[in-house]
A = this chain, B = another copy of it.
Amino acid sequence: MSNPPDPELLSLNTATVRDKWKLRQIIEGCSRHGIRGISPWRDKLAEMGAKNAARAIRDHGLTVTGLCRGGMFPAADRNGRQAAIDDNLRAVDDAAVLEARCLVLVAGGLPPGSKDLAGARAMVRDGIGEVLDHARSAGVPLAIEPLHPMYCADRACVNTLAQALDLCDELGEGVGVAVDVYHVWWDPQLSAQIERAGDKRLLAFHICDWLVPTTDLLTDRGMMGDGVIDLPLIRSWMERAGYRGFHEVEIMSSRNWWRRDPEEVLATCRVRYQTAC
């Protein structure tokens, strides 16, 4: 077992306590629990507006480790694709106001009724390309997050780190990846692809655990240490590649953690970050 990670580098993704707390409570909760990073989803951000949220986050000394999320580029027609691009441009603006370390991009799946996976993947590439100039100008790195292959149809058709890095290669400066252990832990190429990414393109690191059995495809993630992911090993790969950023806890858990008192959830995150990561 390696040394525990730097306690200053724990971050909380708002999805982890989204059912019981509003954004302002989450900001205050992170501060109270010594969690120095926060990553809001845009539905939470909408409660306060980006400027008020940015002020509250700054007042509590927190770093915004990412804004979740842009992306969702594939659509059935040109209007739909343009609407997605427009939405991403607004997300870039919000990320800039928050001084977020990155805007996380979840690619999007197949348009309704479509089986054209290659076409959807091309729409993702083209969509990011349409947003990239604005993101560069705004100083907001775009973090493509490969999602687990079980989400390929309906959430994200970018499903491996290799595929995300191929996109980065194609798109150039200003684009990197978000590595979420839940999505990539199974990948035989994981170590090699983290090394390939290198610290410049490793924009975010999300942690949780894979439960056995997993009873729901979307909302049955585990707390670090409760599942089968070798978190210290994956962290060692991230660090070897030069990653020095935050470790962001993102746990969607409708049967367990969403039902608990967020005070307990945050306290558990702190403990497990030191004992299981």
Contacts and interface: CB of A to CB of B under 8 A. Distances in A.
Contacts of A52: none
Interface in A211-243: 212-214, 217, 227-230, 233
Nearest to A110: B228
Interface residues of A, number: 31
B160 A188 contact: yes
A45 to B, nearest CB: 27
B115 A228 contact: yes
Given A110-B228, A115-B229, A153-B228, A188 B163 contact: yes
A192 interface: no
B217 A214 contact: yes
Contact of A210 (B121, B153, B185): B153
A152 interface: yes
Interface in A145-182: 148-150, 152-154, 157, 159-160, 162-163
Contact of A153 (B153, B187, B212): B212
24 contacts: A110-B228, A114-B228, A115-B228, A115-B230, A116-B230, A117-B230, A148-B149, A149-B149, A149-B186, A149-B187, A150-B150, A150-B214, A152-B185, A152-B186, A153-B227, A153-B228, A154-B212, A154-B213, A157-B186, A159-B186, A159-B187, A163-B188, A214-B217, A217-B217
